[in-house]
Structure 1
Amino acid sequence: MSHFSHLFEHWQSTLNWSPSPDQLEQFEKLYELVLEGNSQQNLTRITAPDDFWEKHLWDSLRGVLNYWERENLQVIDIGTGAGFPGLPIAIAKPSWQVTLVDSKQKKVAFVEQTIKDLQLTNAIAEAGRAEDINKISPYKKKYDLAVVRAVGSPDLCASYCLPFLKKNGTAILYRGQWLPEESEQLDIFCEEQGLQVVQQDRFQTPLTMSIRHSVYLSPRSTSISNS
């Protein structure tokens, strides 16, 4: 049974991209694996198919839309939980290499098993705290994109990302609301750390019209294209 085929038009109209039949099958299987995993541990409260599509699949991909045309990127997903946004990104972009990091061993075990079940050759899961992993050489300054979704204040998220980034890399903070005081905190942090906010992208989700934000940060002297 297909959970998401009725949403096919939405992929195209909002992301200007549609999954192949194989990718659609992987998204379906990911959904089933998360539902199954939920019976063992608390992975997500979002379990209705349309909600899952919008809040986990669509939202994961929307954050990296600016980089969609680029191939062979190295991506790290910090605090991945049940694998978001990293797993949808790995499914949608087979040429990207995605590393999914979480401090909770049980979550990482779930993500590792899911990578195997989905036969994703471009994703690996790593257990540990971002602030420890980002100091060691296989990970430090190795990534084009560091993505982080809802694991604390923006400046904290940025501080996790920064050591992972190549000198022209970008951190992408996935946020729901974006408050003026968060913006101020982040500006202060960026000033101290030699970062710049290159874009704040405010958008609506396609089904529930919820407001979301993606905030893009780079080490100073690099810029982002809006293509």
Structure 2
Amino acid sequence: MNPEQFKQALAEKGIELNNTQMAQFDHYYQLLVEWNQKMNLTAITEKQEVYLKHFYDSVSAAFFMDFTKVETICDVGSGAGFPSIPLKICFPHLKISIVDSLNKRITFLHTLAEKLGLEQTAFYHDRAENFGQNKQHRASFDLVTARAVARMSVLSELCMPLVKKDGIFLVMKAAQAEEELQVAQKAITLLGGKLEEKFAFQLPLEGSDRYIYTIRKTKETPNKYPRKAGTPNKQPIE
């Protein structure tokens, strides 16, 4: 998917990008490749692949949810900024917070936001488990998301505590999504969530499967969650 195809594909979904936004995506790509030579940000570096599998894939959440009605987003384990930075470029009003456990990636994200002129962005070098217990951030976001970070039962424990009541935990998955969802049902319920909608689609041009789930937070997450760092992954709620 080249940049022009990317712009056209988003326009077909009702997301119109102006020249400034297209230039931001181009600059994003250049910085990603440049920094990737110094540190491991992504295995995907070919331009058309990045536009399809990182940029388009990240923005696909907005095909199924109205992001004009979302204000605050927390992206857990974002790595090189996916999906929240592409969403921020498309919807500049969004207030983005990114949590990542590797300080090198946080340094990259600070540089990226500065070079792209992105305002209302905050980057936190922290473990998601610790961040979710921080009273300043807990239950404070309209939408919390994570992309390809961990199994859904684990993701639920890392993300749900950060969602404000009546907010959304947005799950973006590829293969084995339905199996993961079945296993995660107990965790989702225990943590105060209820599956609202699920969507399946294929990436254009190459046809790989993608799944998006919206989980509504209907009640507060019990205070004991998330458990201490490392525990959710070693002993998932199942």
Q: Distance in 2 between matches of 1:179 and 1:76?
A: 21
Deviation per CA, 1:120-156: give whole Å up to 9, x if none: 0121211101110111122111100001011111011
Q: Which residue of 2 aligns with 1:148?
A: 146
Q: Which residue of 2 aligns with 1:108?
A: 106
1:58 and 2:65 matched: no
Deviation per CA, 1:62-89: give whole Å up to 9, x if none: 1233333524510000001011111111
SS of the residue 2:17 aligns to: coil
Q: Which residue of 1 aligns with 2:15?
A: 17
Q: Give the TM-score normalised by structure 1.
A: 0.90
Alignment gaps of 5+ in structure 1? 222-227
Q: Distance in 2 between matches of 1:163 and 1:192?
A: 11
Deviation per CA, 1:41-73: give whole Å up to 9, x if none: 011111112211111111111123333352451
Identical positions, percent: 25
Q: Distance in 1 between matches of 2:188 and 2:66?
A: 26
SS of the residue 1:63 aligns to: helix
Q: Which residue of 2 aligns with 1:7?
A: 6
Alignment gaps of 5+ in structure 2? 220-238
Distance apart, 1:163 and its partner CA: 1.0
Deviation per CA, 1:167-193: give whole Å up to 9, x if none: 011011110013443122111212323
- 2:177 and 2:211 in contact (8 A); partners too: no
The 1:189/1:69 distance shift into structure 2, 3 A limit, reads: closer
- 2:88 and 2:94 in contact (8 A); partners too: yes
Q: Which residue of 2 aligns with 1:225?
A: none
Query: Which contiguous aligned blocks of 4+ residues in structure 1 show a shift greater than 4 angstroms?
Result: none
- 2:6 and 2:52 in contact (8 A); partners too: no
Q: Distance in 2 between matches of 1:71 and 1:87?
A: 17
1:84 and 2:109 matched: no
- Which is further off, 127-136 or 23-32? 127-136
Q: How does 1:36-185 map to 2 (within 5 A)?
A: 36-68=34-66, 70-71=68-69, 73-185=71-183
The 1:60/1:199 distance shift into structure 2, 3 A limit, reads: same
Amino acid at match of 2:180: E
CA-atom RMSD in angstroms: 1.6
Q: Give the TM-score normalised by structure 2.
A: 0.86
The 1:95/1:7 distance shift into structure 2, 3 A limit, reads: closer
Equivalent residue for 2:25, pick from 18, 24, 27: 27
